[in-house]
Amino acid sequence: MRGRNPYLDALAERRPTKPYTITVLPEGVKVEVDPAKLSDGHLGLAGSILGQCLAAGVDIEHACGGVLACSTCHVYVTAGGKTCGEASEEEEDMIDGAPAVRPSSRLACQSVPDGSSDIVIEIPAWNRNAVKEGH
């Protein structure tokens, strides 16, 4: 399914054109993104914040598998948000159901930065999985 919900119209795919860095707060982890080595879009759209963070070992919740069917991958894009393009109407509808929505709220599975600048995301406190299960 590659990050697509079969019940929604397909979105135009965007991909980054330049290398960039995702800084994940509050941990301060930096994820270096090389457009030539993008995640395949198995979770979220190809090149999505979700896919890049997961590939780098940064855990972001994603109950629906990144197909725009929940809001568990809700993040705040606090810097560089314009590089992610506009949220689709479907993404905005899903964000409306998330707690603690801010103007910088995005779904990590649907946000694909174009690489024109580095970005900073914050994983909301209520969405950090502090306890990891051993399976």
Q: For residue range 28-45, what is the model confidence (pLDDT) as tens digits?
A: 999 999 998 876 667 888
pLDDT digits (tens, 9 = 90+) for 63-118: 998 889 999 999 999 999 999 989 999 999 999 999 999 999 999 999 999 999 99
Question: pLDDT at residue 131 above 50?
Answer: no
Q: What does the domain layout of the chain look like in residue ranges?
A: 20-127
**Of residues 40 and 130, which shows the higher confidence score?**
40
Strand partners for 106: 75
- The fold for domain 20-127 equals Ubiquitin-like (UB roll) (3.10.20)
- The pLDDT, as a whole number, for residue 1 is 41
Could you give the dihedral angle defined by the CA atoms of residues 101, 105, 108 and 109, in that order, rounded to the nearest 10 degrees? Answer: 80
